Chains A and B, each alone.
Chain A
Amino acid sequence: MPFAHWNADRAAAIVAAQANREGALLPVLHALDHAFGHVPDAAVPIIAQALNLSRAEVHGVISFYHDFKTTPPPPHVLKLCRAEACQARGGEAMAARTLARLADRADIAIEAVYCLGLCASGPAAMFDGRLAARLDDDRLTAIVEAAG
């Protein structure tokens, strides 16, 4: 999915739209991530100012959660489930082969995810936000290839 380029004015508007909610920081970070695909360091002072928090507090929250990245993502993101239910159906071996096969694809970030809730249909993955289950090497390759 295409994300907007970082823009401080737009970021400030996004933050302002969420700032009055109780416990606003996670909704703010999700909204920024949704717009820009990441939450860069430049966002920290904007958020801190709007929510009356210290920059350290904002940075601490961003760095705590796996979802929030501080650099823009590559065009494609493949999240492979590495949790027990998918392990039980050969998920680890499939993940190892996939990592090797796609090692030189700089356009794809391959991440581990611990459970997509598809535990009776593993191995499972999410590619560019779309779920896929009952995977094998061929199906997974087809899904990745279809995206170019």
Chain B
Amino acid sequence: MVARVYVPGDAAAVAVGADEVAAALAAVAARLSTPIEIIRNGSRGMFWLETLVEVETPQGRIGYGPIEAPEVPDLVAAGLFDGAPHAKRVGRPDEIPFLARQTRLTFARCGVIDPGSLDDYRGHGGLKGLERARDLGMIGILDEVTASGLRGRGGAGFPTGIKWRTVAEAVADRKFVVCNADEGDSGTFADRMIMEGDPFVLIEGMIIAGLAVEASYGYVYIRSEYPHAIAALERAIVTAREAGLLGAAFDLEVRAGAGAYVCGEETALLDSLEGKRGVVRVKPPLPAHKGLFGKPTVVNNVLSLAAIPFILAEGAAAYRTFGMGRSRGTMPIQLAGNIRRGGLYETAFGVTLGELVEDIGGGTWSGRPVRAVQVGGPLGAYFPPSLFDTPFDYEAFAARDGLIGHGGVVVFDDSVDMARQARFAMQFCAVESCGKCTPCRLGAVRGTEVIDKIITGQDVAANLSLVEDLCHTMKLGSLCALGGFTPYPVMSAITHFPEDFGARRTMAAE
């Protein structure tokens, strides 16, 4: 019997030596004349275990990790191909608490299947959503997506069904479906993982979107920092075209970004796709009315589109059962930074920040106390442990002057200097500003300078109130979330960690 061995081809596994592990396995097997089949699956999303090697046995798949290439000969000698005991054996991956406690709807297949195989995708429930979408037709799809309660997973949380209906009702000779895969937020990698680990689910979601709004062409705009994702999706598109899923009725192509964070903003992304500088557009008109090349356009994040096949296959009710309040379904949360068990954690809305960081993530990687957690990327607020009871929910985070954004959770231990983090937020905004609106273009530069003065102890109280005033202007006066949300990390750092701003006495005196 040919032993079937899984070695992730996910970029985060490759970055810690997965290619070398796969090569070592092939070499050892050849030397022993043991026929093996190596499948480069996606990652299960337990990055502390990468490279996680899995072998198929009569008892199911058995995992070993983290494995480095030099260990491979010993591992094979110990009986890897039969799932034999070993110090690095972690048992069945789906029984590891981190995975077992998740509700994987969008990521159900990620890390399980061969991402290059459409047959494998179909064998694990793929394309069922598309079949049902074809039966339901345009109105039926729109009703189903609206009823599911799905909100945009890119960060803004706008109801997907309403967006689709707006485009469906628009009259034009051409319409487009654009997938925003410009996942620039630090602490996020869910888009990358799904494109590398289960690319057909995104393609299926985009075909369904095309049916719902009568669009015949789609673009996936992927950031250039993700070469593995670009390659995986391009391969999958070719396969889907050969299988007749893509073609005359609806076709797709990948476009690479060029290292501009602001292109994650949907209108800047559209300008970039049109071959222009990635400058934010004034809204209205909405992209749903005048989007790509001036035509009605659905712009959705990868995770929104990848949630669609499940919703269509299993029905809106099955999806909206999960969650809390107006946040329905599941969110692929990404645990990152200084965390012991970092990775992809898909769960129903409602889990608290404390459960995520302490219980599921196991606290810090360094072993020191957690001091701050930034949720929602570079534009998200820093939360202290005293706010760990905040449930993961769009409204609950907004109520505490934060946002869940694209679901990134970056943990910092007690060595962090929050004044430095506030300065970084301003500096990042200055570097990445598209330059169109003044509060962002100038505000971020002045903000960096004023925080520098605070750090060096000049007129701390006056400069703190100046930063607060500037943040107010940026929040209300910026065209998009880059300038508009940079105040979140800055003000949350000042509010929750005043002792880092040389402000112990001055703040108390107010």
Give A residues with C-beta under 8 Å from B: 22-27, 29-30, 51, 57, 60-61, 64-68, 83-89, 113-122, 124, 126, 129, 131-134
Contact = CB atoms under 8 A, between A and B. Distances in A.
Nearest to B185: A115
Given A64-B277, A119-B410, A120-B189, A29 B293 contact: no
Contact of A67 (B255, B258, B412): B258
Contact of B276 (A25, A87, A88, A132): A25
A27 B224 CA distance: 12
Given A65-B259, A67-B258, A124-B15, A119 B336 contact: yes
A30 B61 CA distance: 41
Select the residue from B186, B228, B256 with max chain A CB neighbours within 10 A.
B186
Contact of A118 (B11, B365, B374, B410): B11
Given A61-B275, A124-B15, 15 more contacts: A23-B255, A29-B258, A65-B260, A67-B224, A84-B187, A84-B424, A85-B186, A87-B424, A114-B261, A116-B11, A116-B225, A117-B188, A117-B226, A119-B188, A120-B334
B337 A85 contact: yes
A83 B428 CA distance: 9
B112 interface: no
Interface stretch (B161-169, B198-206, B338-346, B349-357): B338-346
A65 to B, nearest CB: 4
A67 B259 contact: yes
A60 B271 CA distance: 13
A81 to B, nearest CB: 8
Given A64-B278, A84-B421, A89 B258 contact: no
B224 to A, nearest CB: 6
Interface in B47-72: 47-48, 50
A94 B180 CA distance: 32
Majority SS at the chain A contact face: loop
Select the residue from B12, B15, B278, B342 with max chain A CB neighbours within 10 A.
B15
Given A23-B275, A85-B337, A121-B16, A65 B408 contact: no
Nearest to A81: B186
A85 B393 CA distance: 22
Given A84-B337, A118-B189, A133 B274 contact: no
B278 A133 contact: no
Contacts of B260: 64-66
Nearest to B434: A64
Interface string B230-259: 000000000000000000000000011111
A64 B293 CA distance: 20
A117 B424 contact: no
Interface string B319-351: 000000000000000111111001100000000
A113 B432 CA distance: 12
Contacts of A122: 336-337
Nearest to B412: A88
12 contacts: A23-B293, A25-B275, A26-B275, A60-B277, A61-B277, A65-B260, A66-B259, A85-B337, A89-B366, A115-B188, A117-B226, A118-B11
B227 interface: yes
B11 A84 contact: no
Interface string B195-229: 00000000000000000000000000000111110
Interface string B263-289: 000000000111111100000000000
Nearest to A33: B258
